[in-house]
A = this chain, B = another copy of it.
Amino acid sequence: MTQATGHGAELAGLPPVDGKSNKRVLILGAGIAGLTAAYELGKLGFDCVVLEPRDIPGGRSMTIRKGDKITETTGHSQTCKFDEGQYYNPGPSRFPQWHVTMDYCRELGVEIQPFVNLNENAFYYGEGDIGPMAGKRHRIREVKTDLRGYTAELLAKVADDELLDTELSESDKEALIDFLHYEGGLSGSANEYKGHNRRGYKVWPGGGLQEGELDDPYQFSELLQSGFGNLFHRANEYQYQSQMFTPKGGMDKIPMALAEKVKDKIVYGAQVKEIRRTNPGARVVYTVDGADQEITGDYCICTIPPTILRRLQTDFSPMLKNTLNIVPFQNSGKIGMQFKRRFWEEDDRIFGGLSWTNLPIGEVWYPSSGFLDKKGVMGGYYVFGPMSDQLGRMSPEERTEFALSNGEKIHPQYRDEFENAFSVNWATIPHIEGCLAHFPQAMLKTFYPLLIKPEGELYLAASWASHLGGWQAGAFEAARIAVKNIHERTMAS
């Protein structure tokens, strides 16, 4: 494993513990964190047992394919009707280049492909009090080119004004004007933005006399009122910058590859009831097929989501229990929709990427694979917190209708081309019951450190107990830190 960017803990080169007495580590949960712990501990010579309540590994790193069935805790049940070969990632679906996830893909032989996070040809669509641009879809490239153009013009016009109180030299100011011309696509010595072909063409340039025909730019004022410019940053944030990646064939290729490495260590259908400290060590009571079982270990790494962990009998300290109660573990929901025809490619020439909207669906995702195929699965909504809770209370059919009735405002082809859908509401998925945590700054300094501090031989390891909430990389890193710590203690013992 090369390039320790964001690793959390360097495990390369650690000596195996073979010389020590055979230490057993109980691992609760076979999601990314649990699987990684078992995999890395195994390399170091530890004996591991992974207890997983479901019959598949991966936790939220799931991929939905034809025939997959989920019954939610509310009783709502769905069986996936996608065509063979179609799939949807209802949990994590992309990662940036710097995540340790990339290194695990290399090590595990999981093939990756670019995930198109920014497609300038996709749309912004807004409704409500956003001025004249409301109720129509607008290409991202149009909005971006115009808004950057107008703001560059504005700054260029005052850049050499004495009132612009800067410490820039005359030659710096000239360089600034140059930059603004490039950045904004300005023309002439008056530094004016008059539209630019970066916003695309009404008739594109081509062969013969087809020189291309530009459309008029939007007005500065209507752009500002629309607020669309405040969405540019979404693809510029450090987690989302070009180029993002995703495994070929579905996100679950990662947990599947990990699970293959530790397959003899996983007990499926094992639901944890109690987590006890044995000073030193841990004892865990769990049920398999309705019968209680008990297992002891020298260490225990718990990856169970806080929503479920709160209900278990544990010997956690009151402080940790209290912290688990206030972890801001929130819901999220996504829907994969199979369409008869890739109208977004065929009609709108959008190959991958996202359209953003202030409609309650939030985002619409175009698949980053299967380009030019006949059919495809789009992401119809991606919602968090209260909005996802509201959707979670709906039946799958109602969620589909929600996605259709909103999405058809952006894509009028929706109703005609729709075939079937599969929605996942994480708060009602058995044994998961939630999705991700982002800690507010105040909690990061107070409660968060309590989450990640081992209690005796008990460790919590999960993405929701990392600085990478909601990312698989957080689970990888949290697991690696626990592994390193257990290794150190074992070597010192």
CB distance from A240 to the nearest CB of B (A): 9
Q: Does A151 contact B (CB under 8 A)?
A: yes
Chain B residue nearest in CB terms to A469? B205
Q: Interface size for chain A: under 10, 10 to 19, 20 to 34, or 35 or more residues?
A: 35 or more
State whether the Cβ of A204 lies closer than 8 Å to any Cβ in chain B.
yes
In the complex, the chain B residue whose C-beta lies closest to that of A8 is: B207
23 A-B interface contacts by CB (under 8 A): A3-B346, A97-B349, A97-B351, A98-B349, A105-B372, A112-B371, A151-B176, A151-B180, A161-B163, A175-B224, A179-B224, A182-B230, A182-B233, A183-B232, A197-B238, A200-B238, A201-B238, A205-B467, A207-B477, A207-B481, A208-B452, A208-B481, A243-B353
In the assembly, what is the distance between CA of A9 and CA of B220, in Å? 35
The 8 A-B residue pairs with the shortest CB-CB distance in the complex, in nearest-first order? A207-B477, A6-B204, A8-B207, A175-B224, A205-B467, A8-B206, A114-B114, A120-B241
How far does the alpha carbon of A5 sit from the alpha carbon of B145 in the complex, in Å?
Answer: 20
Contacts A113-B113, A371-B113 given; does A233 touch B349 at CB 8 Å: no
A185 at the interface (CB under 8 A from B): yes
Q: Does A289 contact B (CB under 8 A)?
A: no
Find residues 167-218 in chain A having any chain B CB closer than 8 Å to their own CB: 167-169, 171-172, 175-176, 178-180, 182-183, 185, 197-201, 203-212
CB neighbours of A220 from chain B (8 A):
166, 168, 172
Tell me the bound Cα distance from A163 to B172 in angstroms: 22
A245 at interface by CB-CB < 8 Å? yes
Chain A residues numbered 380-435 whose CB sits less than 8 Å from any CB in chain B: none
A118 at the interface (CB under 8 A from B): yes
Q: Tell whether, in the assembled complex, residue B179 and residue A114 are in contact, meaning their CB atoms are under 8 Å apart.
A: no
Whether A360 sits at the interface, judged by CB under 8 Å, is: no
The quantity of this chain's copies bound in the complex is: 2
List, in ascending order, chain B residues with CB within 8 A of A158's CB: 158, 163-164
- A313 on the B face (CB < 8 A): no
Chain B proximity of A153: nearest CB distance (Å): 10
A323 to B: closest C-beta gap in Å? 15
Asked if B97 and A350 make an inter-chain contact with CB atoms under 8 angstroms apart, the answer reads yes
A338 contacts partner chain B, Cβ-Cβ < 8 Å = no
- Given known pairs A118-B242, A208-B481, the reply for A175 and B225 (CB within 8 Å) is yes
CA distance A38 to B487 in the complex (A): 68
Contact partner of A9 (CB less than 8 A), chosen from B198, B207, B238, B465, is B207
> Chain B contacts of A446 at CB under 8 A?
none
A106 within 8 A of B: yes
A443 interfacial by beta-carbon distance below 8 Å: no
State whether the Cβ of A488 lies closer than 8 Å to any Cβ in chain B.
no
**A453-488 Cβ-contact flags toward B at 8 Å (1 or 0):** 000000001000111100001101111110000000
User: Is A296 engaged at the interface, CB distance under 8 Å to the other chain?
Assistant: no
Complex Cα distance, B151 from A180, in Å, reads 9
Interface: A359 (CB within 8 A): no
Complex alpha-carbon distance, A179 and B112, angstroms: 35
A375 shortest CB reach to chain B, Å: 14
Q: Is A312 located at the chain interface by the 8 A CB criterion?
A: no
| Interface check A102, CB cutoff 8 A | yes
> A183 to B224, alpha carbons, bound, how many Å?
13
CB-CB nearest in chain B for A444:
B211
Residue numbers in B under 8 Å from A465 (CB-CB) = 207
**A229, CB-defined interface residue at 8 Å:** yes
Q: In the bound complex, do residue A477 and residue B351 qualify as a contact, i.e. CB atoms below 8 Å apart?
A: no
Flag if A225 contacts B172 (CB, 8 Å): yes
Within the complex, what minimum Cβ distance (angstroms) separates A117 from chain B?
A: 9
Which residues of chain B are within 8 angstroms of A238 by Cβ–Cβ distance? Answer: 141, 197-201
